[in-house]
Structure 1
Amino acid sequence: MIARSFAPARRVGPPAYALALTLAVTAPLLAPGYLLLRDAVSTPRSFLSDAALGLTEAAPRALPQDFAVALASSAVDGGVVVKALLILGLFLAGWGAARLAAVVVPDAGVAGQCVAVTVAIWNPYVAERLLQGHWSLLVGYGCLPWVAAAVLSLRGAVPEAPPNLHSTRGNPRFERVECKFGGLGALLFWTALAGLTPTGLMMAAVVALACASAPGRGRSRPFCMTAALLAAVGAALPWLVASVVAPGWAAQTTDQAAGIHAFAARAEPGLGTLGSLAGLGGIWNGDAVPASRTTLFALLSTVVLLAVVVVGVLVLLRRRAAVPLLAVAALAVVAPALMATGPGLAAVEAVIRTVPGLGVLRDGQKWVALAMPAYALAGAAAVVALRPRVPAIATAGVCCAALVATLPDLTWGVGGRVAPVHYPPGWSAAAAIIDSAPAPVAVLPVDSMRRFPWAGEAPVLDPLPRWVRAHVLSSGDLSIGGRTVLGEGSHARAVQRLLVGGADRARLADAGVGWVVAEGRHDALPLPVAYRDDDIALYSVGGDAPAAAHRPLMIAAHAVWLGQLVVGLTGMLVIRRRSGRAHRRDEDVDGPQHGDQ
């Protein structure tokens, strides 16, 4: 009875700890306001514009993310939606790491699961991607351990409780149904959620296929691999279809070589590129790094993390279910390091020149996220490795404290740098005028990234494209380290040259411009003023452009993704509810099961 009374605490403990760590990182985001930091842009409302559906010159990199935010913001403030998804992503990373540890290293117990939670949440990758504004990538990151656990469950790698003659757990037919449909539902859901961005989906597919090769007595390897591929294709339909019917990749004629070099992984102080990546750091943007990673303290942080991982790996190598994830982790560290070398950069450049759509490979460091599931398992296994000499709770306490202490500035929004901001009132006024007569919008300044005095010191993507119904012309050009990385917006670039060159209203209208927005303080333009204050000015031009084709097709592709998300979640919850009821009946009839003793 005592063991039975502790069972709920054991189930609730790891997710509660994951929530505590998540809030320690994201607490500033609980305040009112909007996340506006580098690539992270949230606005009060988004719409199903051509850009949100991937029907513009820009490559479809933010699908179905923009579609999902547009739908959600029709009912809830868009700032709340983005902040909630970011917080959810980190929480899922920690809770999922605990769940994966329970599947692969069940003898690690709650102590080991808490170490896994700490490894998954409290690491340089999370800090750097927060500072870069990659909130949707972190959602995909949070789904990886769940994808792994789902496929390992399908493969039958989950430890089995002893049969109970009085319960459905002893019924092989029920167990097969629970494993098959519960695992399939989980795989569909977590793959679709990871697929908020193409990168997240690609990482989830890699993890799923790797886990499908693990040994097990459940569904066959071909079945699991086929299920993983079908789930990935269903979730990828929005950007796969957009890549075919929209002009994004087809219009990409610019040289990507500068971008390849600019986005290569970066060595941190005291560490080479390989060491930085092994410590889950090394993002290309040196400005999107916590202060502690800019000194030799980064070396200490990496040594602590790798010490925990190495101790646990010695145990994991004897757990056959963990071997595929260990192989993925090794590849996720070594491959980006090779990509940052001269020959590696040349190889990546050749690949992208041949297939422009593979430009997603440029940012090599982001693929280090694939190491997280194995690192988290190793953290849990470290408790098992040291248990003969050190009590589990002591090992867990030391490991968790050391990991947190060696990355202290992850706390409170990475030292307060990830915090909500407030738009000046003029932005809402200008957006409302544009929405009353949607037409293509040209924006000054012409840079894709800009700085606003009310939004902090870091540059940020222009929020306007995600705020208005109309298509906002953006070239996508980026300035990195003094080099310009050209985007796909050739028409937008031509319009920008007209603006900078002082073109009159007639020429802008002929180019299909309906509005011109000047953000920040600028000299007045020789155009009719629709709205103006100290923060923003809106000018009426009167031009228009035909609506993009294929909108119904793109909406249908997004509906498939949304349907997979809903169907997967429903199936997963229904099977889990049935399983929970059966388990409670078992306890009522026969007392605590093996897992509660």
Structure 2
Amino acid sequence: MTITTDATESRTGVRWRLSWCVVLTVVVLWPFAVAVVAGWDRDSALLLRDLSVPGSMALNDLATGAHGLARAVPQDAVLAFLSPVLPPTVVVGLLMCACGAAGAWGATVLAQRFGAGRVGQALASFLVVWNPYVAERLLQGHWSVVAAGMLLPLVAWLSLERRRVWLVVALAVCALTPTGLILAVVTAVVASGWRWFSLVPAVAGAVLSLPWVIPSLGDASATLTDAGGASLFAARAEPWVGTLGALAGLGGIWNSDAVPDHRVPVAGVLLAVAAVVVAVVLWRRGEWSGGLRRLSVLAVTAVLVPALLATGPGVTLLGEVLEILPGAGLLRDTQKFVVLALPALVILLARVDVPVPRVASAAPVLAAGFLAFLQVPALPVDLSDLRPTTLDRGYADAVDSVEDAGAGRTLLWPPGNYRIIDGRPALDPLLKMLPGSPVDPGYLVVDGRIVDGDPDTVRLLSGLAAGDDGLAEAGVDLVLVETDATEDAGVSVPAVLTDGVSPHELLWSADGWELYRVR
């Protein structure tokens, strides 16, 4: 009878965890759930800032890292490889929903491992998907970083439980983006305690990093970046709480435009204080040891280091590193690493009833849940700009025309890799859709300042705007002009293409589009 009862309770526990985690994920990440359904229409796209996932993608040189920096490797290569069978929008929608549910479930079992009851476990899963980091990073378009961040509690639990196979699977999902792989490997190694088992995530991480490490080795100097990026991408202070308080609440992204309209930073600071109080109580009771201690130290480090690097001396130091250390540009957006605090945070807040034993055990947990909610009280509404949109058919026609022309190196005009589509700023989807080798200028404009960028491409674009024809010398085969975007950008079609004596041939034109072959 006892065995039967325990088995029934175990099945019931699994069901409620899964049900709660799935419902929570769909409520918060509903734009991606919609993408799973609507994404089968190949004109559907997910577009917002750095999020650029059209309905069809080409396995071009940018996706594989064969030409230029491996900026979106291997995530774009995976999406492009699957594109003939599964629309990329559907794949991203499935991945985000799966990572949200899996990460939330991982938080429940991680919290349970350290003594949390059911209400505390429910709070732990809530913290995984309902927090400022998820909001800000998704509004910036960093979907794969968010997917990895949500999986960190699961990664920590798998490491503590020594689940090798599933840990490697989780690392592989996180490895869709270099940042995600770094987050997962660091979490796994710290959770495992630097023992022999830590070799599993370390070796797996080394292998999984090869798709972006190998292309970068071809020209290591190209991975150096402007020292000014240290200040432009530093963690941002928020009202009433400053930079440290913003980071303690998992907020503080550099781009203020990516901050949700509804945001209460003070609530995050109160949660962080509660977590510290719980840690002190558990330490006094001898329960703050082993994996919890290591993850807590990681959490403190994940908050303090970005805060220090946002100070004057920190910015100077990081700027020097960016200029002399190849690949250090991966580290300049320091706030994205604050999510390393999440595993410890979900454990400690799930045990928030410990300091107040005379109060009904659910009350402190529910209070913490309310504070977590209050940080971004309208999160599903704030993420509404992530819902799928429909690309104009001109994009598909342009891709067909470039393919018919033999692809090769295709330069896009107007200059820059961002467009305004359906009222949203987004990375130009043509960089993902065109076959061959689309030319990505690679620069960013932050607060009116140009950061990074391929110098040769920037010079070519500047020359075209000034009337100089350097297309053939630069090895460009085709020029695709989006005339509507050109007008919106306040520039004109390069005179070298339209001056009447141009050697370049107009191959195709349609409403809002022109394609030229370089002669």
> What secondary structure, in the 3-state scheme, does the structure 2 residue paired with 1:367 have?
helix
Residues 423-472 of structure 1 deviation map (CA, whole Å, 9 limit, x = unaligned): 001000001121232111111121222323x2x24x21111111111211
- Report if aligned partners of 1:187, 1:231 keep a CA contact under 8 Å in 2: no
SS of structure 1 residue aligned to 2:62: coil
Q: CA deviation at 1:136?
A: 0.7
Residue 101 of structure 2 aligns with an amino acid whose one-letter code is: F
Amino acid at match of 2:430: L
The CA distance in 2 between the partners of 1:186 and 1:108, in whole Å, is: 23
Q: Distance in 2 between matches of 1:520 and 1:267?
A: 40
> CA shift at 1:115, angstroms?
0.8
Measure how far apart 1:492 and its partner are: 2.1
Change in Cα spacing, 1:87 to 1:315, as seen in structure 2 (3 Å) is: farther
Deviation at 1:483, TM superposition (A): 1.6
What corresponds to 1:124 in structure 2?
A: 132
Tell me: CA distance 1:207–1:28, structure 2 relative to 1, closer, same or farther (3 Å): closer
Tell me the distance in 1 between the aligned counterparts of 2:437 and 2:282.
51
**Match among 113, 120, 126 for residue 121 of structure 2:** 113
- AA aligned opposite 2:83: S
Q: Which amino acid aligns with 2:248?
A: A
Aligned residue in 2 for 1:275: 245
User: How do residues 223-234 of structure 1 correspond to structure 2 at under 5 angstroms?
Assistant: 223-234=196-207
1:416 equivalent in alignment to 2:427: no
1:357: Cα distance to partner?
A: 0.7
Matched, 1:468 2:468: no
Q: Tell me if structure 2 keeps the 8 A contact 1:316–1:381.
A: no
Deviation of the 1:542 alpha carbon: 4.1
| Contact 1:474 1:493 (8 Å CA) reproduced | no
Aligned to 1:382: 352
What residue number does 1:171 align with? none
User: Which amino acid in structure 1 is aligned with residue 151 of structure 2?
Assistant: C
CA apart distance, 1:252:
4.7
2:160 maps to which residue?
A: 152
Partner of 1:83: 93
Q: Offset of 1:142 from its aligned partner?
A: 2.2
Mapped pair 1:99 → 2:102: no
Cα distance between partner residues in 2 of 1:128 and 1:113: 24
* 1:251 paired residue number: 222
Structure 1 residue 379 displacement after superposition: 1.8
Instruction: State the partner residue of 1:515.
Output: 478
Q: Check the 8 A contact 1:434/1:470 in 2, yes or no.
A: no
Matching residue of 2:25: 22
Give secondary structure in 2 for the equivalent of 1:35.
strand
Letter in 1 for 2:207: G
Q: Distance in 2 between matches of 1:450 and 1:49?
A: 20
Listed as ranges, the matches of 1:275-294 within 5 Å are: 275-293=245-263
Q: TM-score, normalised by structure 2?
A: 0.89
Q: How far apart in 2 are the matches of 1:383 and 1:73? A: 48
Q: In the alignment, what sits opposite 2:462?
A: 497
Q: Does 1:185 align with 2:151?
A: no
Aligned counterparts of 1:533 and 1:49: Cα–Cα separation in 2: 24
Tell me if the contact between 2:237 and 2:252 (Cα under 8 Å) persists in the aligned partners. yes
Is 1:429 aligned with 2:397? yes
Contact 1:333/1:371 (8 A) holds in 2:
yes
Asked if the contact 1:312/1:377 (under 8 Å) is kept, the reply is: no
Gaps of 5+ in 1: 155-182, 214-220, 544-597
Structure-2 separation of matches of 1:415 and 1:198: 24
Distance of 2:457 and 2:9 partners within structure 1 = 62
1:67 aligns to 2:77 (yes or no): yes
Q: 2:98 and 2:49 mapped to 1: Cα distance?
A: 20
Choose 23-32 or 268-277, whichever is displaced more.
23-32
* Correspondent of 2:275 among 280, 287, 309: 309
Question: Secondary structure of the equivalent of 2:450?
Answer: strand
Deviation at 1:233, TM superposition (A): 0.4
Change (3 A) 1:264 1:86: same
Cα shift at 1:110: 2.1
How far apart are 1:520 and its partner, in Å? 4.8
Q: Within 5 A, what are the aligned runs for 1:364-403?
A: 364-386=334-356, 388-403=357-372
Higher strand share: 2
CA–CA distance in structure 1, aligned partners of residues 474 and 86 of structure 2: 36
Cα separation, 2, equivalents of 1:79 and 1:50: 20
Contact (CA 8 Å) 1:515, 1:538: kept in 2 or not? no
Contact 1:442-1:495 at 8 Å conserved across structures: no
- CA-based RMSD: 2.1
State the match for 1:42 in structure 2: 53
Q: Matches of 1:383 and 1:15 in 2, distance apart?
A: 24
- Partners of 1:235 and 1:292 lie apart in 2 by 38
Match of 1:332 in 2: 302
Q: Is contact 2:60–2:437 with CA below 8 Å preserved after alignment?
A: yes
Which amino acid in structure 1 is aligned with residue 319 of structure 2?
A: E
- The residue that corresponds to 1:136 in the other structure is 144
Secondary structure, counterpart of 2:68 in structure 1: coil
Pick closer, same or farther for the CA change 1:244–1:406 going to 2, 3 Å: closer
CA distance in 1, matches of 2:29, 2:473: 47
Q: 1:91 to 1:308 in 2, by over 3 A?
A: farther
CA contact (8 A) 1:114 1:396 kept: no
Using the TM superposition, give the Cα deviation of residue 80 of structure 1 relative to its aligned residue in structure 2, in angstroms: 1.4
CA drift of 1:194 comes to: 1.1
Letter in 2 for 1:259: G
Aligned residues: 489
Q: Is the 8 A contact 1:515 1:541 kept in 2?
A: yes
When residues 227 and 5 of structure 1 are mapped into structure 2, their CA distance, relative to the original with a 3 A threshold, is closer
Partners of 1:143 and 1:193 within 8 A in 2: no
8 Å CA contact 2:228–2:319 kept in 1: the answer is no
One-letter amino acid of the counterpart of residue 52, structure 2: V
User: Is residue 223–residue 329 contact of structure 2 (8 Å, CA) maintained in 1?
Assistant: no
Relative contact order, CA 8 A, sep 6+: which one is greater? 1
Is the Cα contact below 8 Å between 2:131 and 2:375 reproduced in 1?
A: no
Please, what TM-score do these two structures have when normalized by structure 1? 0.77
CA distance in 1, matches of 2:112, 2:281: 15
Sort the Cα spacing of 1:326 and 1:335 in 2 relative to 1 into closer, same or farther, 3 A: same
What is the SS of the residue equivalent to 1:511? coil
Contact 2:322 2:329 in 1 (8 A): yes
Deviations along 1:239-289, one digit per CA (max 9) or x if unpaired, are 1211223x3x33356x61221110000000111111110011100001000
The letter for the 1-side match of 2:221 is A
Distance 1:252 1:324, change over 3 A: closer
Tell me the CA shift for residue 503 of structure 1: 4.2
Q: How far 1:400 moved relative to its partner?
A: 2.5
Contact 1:143 1:191 in 2 (8 A): no
Q: Which residue in 2 is equivalent to 1:575? A: none
Equivalent of 2:188, from 185, 208, 213? 208
Q: What secondary structure does 1:240 align onto?
A: helix
2:246–2:252 CA contact under 8 A, matched in 1: yes
Offset of residue 510 of structure 1 = 3.7
Q: CA deviation at 1:229?
A: 1.3
C-alpha separation in 1, matches of 2:282 and 2:514: 60
Partner-residue secondary structure (3-state), 1:530: strand
Structure 2, unmatched stretches of 5+, are 39-43, 487-491, 499-503
Match of 2:506 in 1: 529
CA distance in 2, matches of 1:465, 1:66: 11
